[in-house]
Structure 1
Amino acid sequence: MSDWVIPDDRPEYAEAVEAALAKMDLETKADLLAGLDMWRTIPVPEAGLRSMTVSDGPIGVRGRFWTAADPSLALPSPTAQAASWDPELVRRIGNLLAAESRRKDVDVLLAPTINLQRSPLGGRHFEAFSEDPYLTGRIAQAYVAGIQECGVGTTMKHYVANDAETDRFTVDNIIGERALRELYLRPFEMITAAVRPWGVMTAYNAVNGHTMTAHRELMAVLREEFGFDGFNVSDWGAARHTVEGVEAGLDLAMPGPFTVYGKALVAAVREGRTGENHVDEAVRRMLKLAARVGALEGVRAAVDERVEAIADPEALLREIAQRSFVLVQNNAPEDGGAPALPLAADAIGGLALIGPAAAEARILGGGSATVFPSKVVSPLDGLREALGDRVRYAQGVDLFEKIQAAGKGFDLKAYPVRKDGTGLPPLALASGDVKWMGYLPGDLAQDEFSHAVVEGVFTVETTGEHVFGTRGTGLHRLVIGGEVVFDGEHVPSSDDPFEAFFGPAVERATVHLEAGQQVSVRHEHTPVSVFPPGYPPSVLFGLMHAGPRPDEDRLIAEAVEAARAADVAVVVVSTTALTESEGFDRRDLRLPGRQDELVAAVAEANPNTVVVVNTGSPVEMPWSDGVAAILLTWFPGQEGGHALADVLLGAEPGGRLTTTWPRRLEDAPVVQVVPTDGELHYDEGVFIGYRAWEQRDAAEPAFWFGHGLSYTEWTYEDLQVDAGEVTVRVRNSGTVTGREVVQVYLSPEAGLDLPGGIEPHRLAGFAAIEAAPGETVDVAIPLEDRSFQYWDEAEHAWRQVPGGWTVAAGRSVADLRLRASVKPA
């Protein structure tokens, strides 16, 4: 951490901010706090202020336009990034994201997500780093540092306890003071103390009775206790209160321009319901942000040097993915011999690659984290590049859940139509999804817009019954082959404005088509806004399609035949866009479709079966005892296929679990994510994740927090504790160079009784190392004072946990190999 560059404010900032503020009247200030459109703030030329642009992350930089015509690099998911347990690698991720931000003229990235993985059912589990607050904080520190040292701002999100998606706009999370401090606020405290983030995003939800965008008490904790001095932006549409928001410290209510600020804020000041001093404080913070990112004339940005584009971004994306993969199981044959992985390329006569996600790569989760990469390397691409025609592919199952956006075989364009009936020039579409979020093509004014059109040609590959459908709230007219097959309205089923787009599609018609046939398609959509008042123009809809359903019994039989004829079978299992996404939580941890059946059948046919689990969060694996190896690849980003080939063929799988994987959902400690009467009670207190698993007499998890196997062997030889630092000696006792994550945990002395209990173990430090065969490494890991403390709810303060502690080092929370006693000063 010592060489991280934490940009300082320049001495002239304070004077420049006051000078710019003095040039603004109340109306201008209120408009600045209201935003210009979906992603920008207003310019104020007379004050020397240009417009600033923010953009969604965290796995890429989308920019202002949510379209494949403006491609972005797609990184591995945050859960994958954190699985590296390597802050320096994550810092490089930040540098890459900063370069992408500059390329797209983005000033602030709306990331990182530092909510905790409280329950495996959380719909955005894949967007969060970890179930542990310390690991989350350390990884997020590096993420923020890597971006901001290049002069691009960040926003810690979502402040605070936005840990599930069900009723996210209205839920009131009831959280005890100790759990709030020790778990959910802790990463925000760590980041603020270490790397001075320039922004925070306040969440949709309420906490203990107060909506987060107007939560005075918790904003005071962030600013006055933690020392946060950046700007506070609402999540999109989260701001509901004008006076309460500005007085609580909400600086920017997005998206603009017709938010709870603007004219509403002017009226509140004029009528004496709030003071202009609150408006001025918010504007000062916005102007300080402008100074920092170089948007305020007369002062230099906090970082002078413009970050250079990464020379070979694909190579870095491949490295990140490779170092995130977690090898959780790697069995040797019962009659002896080497473990199943790595595979010896020169010894493979044939490899059966099985599963829909092996050919159609699942690289990211659904929702606002979505970006459009210019290319994607699937597992099939990566392995065929490495092994050529020795790879035989079999689909295995059909993951049909609901019809999806029209894709393969479709040549589509989209355009808006004016009220006078004239259309604008069409734009090419990568799929049937249209996402004009916060803008209309051609800068068409909202009051001129009538409807949108998707049209093109579908070249049929398979004879049979083709299903066509729609997604999106409003009126739809669907024309296939010149025939109107649907003309009607779709009404959403929930209050979440994104449900109609991120949620399932609706089947509208079934049409028999012949292979080779070229069919004209046209989808006219007139949206009906379900967004909160003031949302910029947003046209979100989709032309959906599903081809004839294949005979799955035949597909499974073909996969089994391929596996039986191969030296090794690799089955890629995955979730779908309807399993893990923003906008809804999961209902179970099962793999969609008949994938469990497929794995069991393949493993019975070939004992050398390797299962690649391509998901962003835990899934049940009832077949785990019957397969040779299990490799978790998360959502690996656009270079995932290359990284998979690398790891299967010998590159070290560098990842360790950042969340505990249950065998069955019913074994998981926290499964309640659905509010009751508008409230979600965090009754488990501080016991989530491994902290909960360890203090229960329930079933063992499938894989513990911190777990991950190596292609070499590691011997833990010595542990010393001195002056708040743990030194661990580790030796690579295997035969190949490898990577290890040395993990340090603290345990309180037995018999300690604290109100609310105390965890059996707390992660207190870690370090990623590399070593050649026979090499010994001494790694020094500092211990923070906070690791020995608890939050005293009676005194409302941090207190030292009484008594002594055991410090232990090892390969996971369940594989601790060295111990020593320690008494904090």
Structure 2
Amino acid sequence: MVSILSCIVIGLASQQARIARAQDVITSDDYFYGQSPPVYPSPNGTGLGNWADAYIKARNFVSQLTLEEKVNLTGGVSETSTSCSGSIAAIPRLNFPGMCLSDAGNGVRSTDFVSGWPSGLSVGASWNRDLAHARAAGMTSEFRRKGVNIALGPVVGPLGRVAMGGRNWEVGFSNDPYLCGALAYETVVGMQSTGVTASVKHYIANEQETNRNPEASVGAVSSNVDDKTMHELYLWPFQDAILAGAGNIMCSYNRLNNSHGCANSKSLNGILKTELGFQGFVVSDWGAQHAGVATAQAGLDMVMPRGSAFWGNNLTLAVKNGSLSETRVDDMTTRRIIAMWYQFGQDDAFPEPGVGMPSELSSPHEVVIGTNSSYKRVLFDGAVEGHVLLKNKDNALPLKTPRIVSLFGYSAKAPDRYTTDENIGNEALAPEDISIMETKSNIISQYASNGTIISGGGSGANQFPYMSSPFEALSQRAYEDGSFLYWDFHSSNPTVNAQSDACIVDGNVYATEGQDRPGLHDDFTDGLILNVASVCANTIVVFQNAGVRLVDQFIDHPNVTALIFGHVPGQDSGRALISILYGDSNPSGKLPYSVPKNESDYAGLDTPDQPEGIFVKFPQSNFSEGVYIDYRALDAKNITPRYEFGFGLSYTTFSFSDIKTTLSNSSTAAYPTQPIAVGGQKDLWDILATVTATVTNIGEITGAEVAQLYVGIPGGPARQLRGFEKATIQPGASVTVSFSLTRRDLSTWDVVAQKWLLQRGTYEIHVGSSSRNLPLTTTLQL
């Protein structure tokens, strides 16, 4: 019999061999990959930038606390009067009311009288910075009214490496780090403008739900990422969020290079708190702490949800017996947790924590209205701009007062009921979470057969005030136009009225936290589409999709005239869809990911990694593709997607012309030289070049175009997004769009110098309407 020790030795040797092979593929970087180097001690916050006053106030506050009171600030408490996801206890003698932390993905969770906002994926499809900012401000205005100090979002990890990822709908907007980071920046600024703190999550490389948490026989999956890939891909949007002033970072469930995310001293102490100058505090994901003193030393500042077996009295004891310095506890509280409270003005006229978060919605309770009518237009515009028109054969859309419209598909109607599901949480869930779970054994369908979805499932979903379904909105339009409407929500091969002017088939793509998707298409919905198209010459396909959806089984059918990806648009879903179908709104959304032709185009990145062989107890996920995910990978392998990243049609047409580049007077030294500020070295954000181009609406109606800038950095991917501008343009008019390129935008990460390197050479510059439609090309010489 082989001994356990021998198995471990063999396993480690095999692991090192796999890591070595992966390194040969991606980089010569041996700084770390599969192992996480130690970085100690945890650096103290210093009050960089505009945090200085908050730190002064926090030091004065914490100087009055006992050790036990300090420790109490670092861990959640059991709290039964509110439905806050987590709570920090009050300190009445110092008039500290405590804190409420609450989920967050598309609105305040576990309460009433709040809105169901467009989810992160819809925001990404809008490619609209202003809309991202307005959505964030509107959403957190509701959090504030409900007494939530910290909104547990936005999500910028997962980035979308795994196409079947269960939380890709909730995420930071896009598979591309630049687009994700730009919208995360606006989201953080918008959220915190209301005094509510943004909790940017899940830090870091949390790219699959499968084995994200340790179980009885299987540990948490280890995301093994080299240093270059970490900085150029997965860290990028977190860095933008920190630059925006984010007050909180949530560490993730997965392991990073075989160290748990909430105990990884390299990522927390070394990167987050040192390299990026982060001044706020780090909170664990719920139940993601797996050690005591070690996590404190590694940079964790607060543990959630409650009653940590590792901290509490044990943390007090650790200080008293010398295992942990009180200076570290002071940094958790003085320099980080309480400083955050002051930084966002939560000491001044902020609502009582959890005041609008009753623990039992079914019982009589005092109602606190969270909804803000001034943001109704933002809710609607967010839903509209998150729709992407992908096919429009012979101008099938917009519809023009059709006589007969036929509507098919399970996703056209509202779900039948609210319910609860123990796999997601014992609470009244939004209708989109109904009837998705086929059993109570964590097996999910690829689609929600019970009705339309306006978000995915899990902690990102909330209980919205109403739902506008496609059927209800279409019924209203038929009434106004005097059209005749047929419908069938259940049949796989419905009877189709041959005189229909248009046949709309509405399906969906469901995804939920805790489980990755079982596939990227389903035969039932594809068969339904083909059955309708075999009879109806004008078949319009719509998906409410919580992730990428393959379409090649039906897209080339001659009677499939139009395709729309509606994503997960929130409570105004139906109204937004009908507005687009009938031309009241001109579609302007663009894909925030690529749509390949089949699963094999993903080269293994469609499915989550599973434990195998000797690693069944220590599952490894080697990110051996490096930075080559999504369009970068397709470009590198010369694979033509069905619809490329950044693609989306309009009811009008645009042209591009007159590209120009201008170099600034900023230093072009190889490495940044200025000191660390919040977000990294200050001169990373120096503008080194500006690119301008002209966009003209050559069509007949007003529309919005997203002009996109891609850069070919020497030695890197052929094209990387480095700018975008969305402009609404009248027919016949032109606008000049301008893109500012910073030092970071034009740099690569040097793993030896541990700095961003600005290379000498020729940079290819491309401008156009998608990653593969780039009519304007020039060069930039550095």
TM-score (normalizing by structure 2) = 0.78
One-letter amino acid of the structure 2 residue matched with residue 625 of structure 1: D
- Partner of residue 247 from structure 1, selected from 293, 297, 314: 297
Where structure 1 has 5 or more consecutive residues not aligned to the other structure, the ranges are: 1-6, 302-306, 333-338, 398-554
Aligned to 2:211: 167
- Do structure 1's residue 569 and structure 2's residue 611 form an aligned pair? no
Aligned to 1:233: 283
More strand, by proportion: 1
How many equivalent residue pairs?
Answer: 628
- Partner of residue 608 from structure 2, selected from 668, 673, 676: 673
Deviations for 1:609-638, whole angstroms, at most 9, x for unmatched residues? 110011111112110111101011001111
Contact persistence 1:353–1:571 (CA under 8 A): yes
Q: Equivalents in 1 of 2:602, 2:484: separation in Å? A: 38
How big is the shift at 1:793?
2.5
Aligned to 2:188: 144
Aligned to 1:290: 341
Aligned to 2:671: none
Deviations for 1:533-565, whole angstroms, at most 9, x for unmatched residues? xxxxxxxxxxxxxxxxxxxxxx244x3424x23
Aligned to 2:708: 743
Contact persistence 2:144–2:194 (CA under 8 A): no
| Partner secondary structure for residue 561 of structure 1 | coil
Q: Equivalents in 2 of 1:380, 1:396: separation in Å? A: 10
- Do structure 1's residue 310 and structure 2's residue 354 form an aligned pair? no
- Partner of residue 485 from structure 2, selected from 359, 373, 392: 392
Contact persistence 2:87–2:99 (CA under 8 A): yes
Aligned to 2:399: 343
Contact persistence 1:156–1:200 (CA under 8 A): yes
- Partner of residue 168 from structure 2, selected from 113, 121, 125: 125
How big is the shift at 1:697?
3.8
- Do structure 1's residue 722 and structure 2's residue 652 form an aligned pair? no
Deviations for 1:693-742, whole angstroms, at most 9, x for unmatched residues? 001044x2111000000110101121111121111101100000000000
How big is the shift at 1:300?
13
| Partner secondary structure for residue 273 of structure 1 | coil
How big is the shift at 1:8?
8.0
- Do structure 1's residue 375 and structure 2's residue 466 form an aligned pair? yes
How big is the shift at 1:308?
10
One-letter amino acid of the structure 2 residue matched with residue 326 of structure 1: V
Which aligned pairs between 1:692-731 and structure 2 lie closer than 5 A?
692-698=633-639, 700-723=640-663, 724-731=689-696
One-letter amino acid of the structure 2 residue matched with residue 812 of structure 1: S
How big is the shift at 1:299?
12
Point out the structure with max Rg over C-alpha. 1
One-letter amino acid of the structure 1 residue matched with residue 573 of structure 2: G
| Partner secondary structure for residue 53 of structure 1 | strand
Aligned to 1:109: 151
Contact persistence 2:662–2:690 (CA under 8 A): yes
Deviations for 1:212-234, whole angstroms, at most 9, x for unmatched residues? 11111111211211121111111
One-letter amino acid of the structure 2 residue matched with residue 820 of structure 1: T
- Partner of residue 258 from structure 1, selected from 308, 321, 324: 308
One-letter amino acid of the structure 2 residue matched with residue 382 of structure 1: A
| Partner secondary structure for residue 556 of structure 2 | helix
Contact persistence 1:727–1:779 (CA under 8 A): yes
CA separation of 1:240/1:385 partners in 2, compared to 1, >3 Å: closer, same or farther?
Answer: same
CA separation of 1:298/1:57 partners in 2, compared to 1, >3 Å: closer, same or farther?
Answer: closer
One-letter amino acid of the structure 1 residue matched with residue 117 of structure 2: L
Deviations for 1:483-507, whole angstroms, at most 9, x for unmatched residues? xxxxxxxxxxxxxxxxxxxxxxxxx
Q: Equivalents in 2 of 1:784, 1:560: separation in Å? A: 58
Q: Equivalents in 2 of 1:44, 1:295: separation in Å? A: 15
Contact persistence 2:710–2:721 (CA under 8 A): yes
Deviations for 1:146-169, whole angstroms, at most 9, x for unmatched residues? 111121110111110111101001
More moved, 815-824 vs 767-776: 815-824
Deviations for 1:249-277, whole angstroms, at most 9, x for unmatched residues? 21110001335221121122222211111
Q: Equivalents in 2 of 1:255, 1:238: separation in Å? A: 10
Aligned to 1:216: 265
Q: Equivalents in 1 of 2:515, 2:155: separation in Å? A: 17
- Do structure 1's residue 623 and structure 2's residue 558 form an aligned pair? no
| Partner secondary structure for residue 815 of structure 1 | coil
Calculate percent identity across the aligned residue pairs: 30
Aligned to 1:421: none
Aligned to 2:527: 597
- Do structure 1's residue 811 and structure 2's residue 769 form an aligned pair? yes
How big is the shift at 1:358?
0.2
- Do structure 1's residue 326 and structure 2's residue 388 form an aligned pair? yes
Contact persistence 2:697–2:734 (CA under 8 A): yes
| Partner secondary structure for residue 605 of structure 1 | coil
Aligned to 1:655: 589
CA separation of 1:243/1:612 partners in 2, compared to 1, >3 Å: closer, same or farther?
Answer: same
Contact persistence 1:618–1:662 (CA under 8 A): no
One-letter amino acid of the structure 1 residue matched with residue 70 of structure 2: K
Q: Equivalents in 2 of 1:671, 1:704: separation in Å? A: 16
Q: Equivalents in 2 of 1:356, 1:671: separation in Å? A: 26
Which aligned pairs between 1:452-601 and structure 2 lie closer than 5 A?
555-557=491-493, 559-562=494-497, 564-576=498-510, 580-591=511-522, 594-601=524-531
How big is the shift at 1:820?
0.9
CA separation of 1:782/1:300 partners in 2, compared to 1, >3 Å: closer, same or farther?
Answer: farther
How big is the shift at 1:71?
4.1
Aligned to 2:540: 610
Q: Equivalents in 1 of 2:599, 2:575: separation in Å? A: 32
| Partner secondary structure for residue 532 of structure 2 | helix
One-letter amino acid of the structure 2 residue matched with residue 657 of structure 1: L
One-letter amino acid of the structure 2 residue matched with residue 769 of structure 1: A
Aligned to 2:94: 47
TM-score (normalizing by structure 1) = 0.74
How big is the shift at 1:10?
7.5
Contact persistence 2:509–2:547 (CA under 8 A): no
Q: Equivalents in 2 of 1:349, 1:274: separation in Å? A: 75
How big is the shift at 1:102?
1.5
Q: Equivalents in 2 of 1:743, 1:639: separation in Å? A: 28
Aligned to 1:405: none
Where structure 2 has 5 or more consecutive residues not aligned to the other structure, the ranges are: 1-47, 79-84, 214-219, 353-368, 415-451, 664-688
More moved, 108-117 vs 43-52: 43-52
How big is the shift at 1:312?
4.1
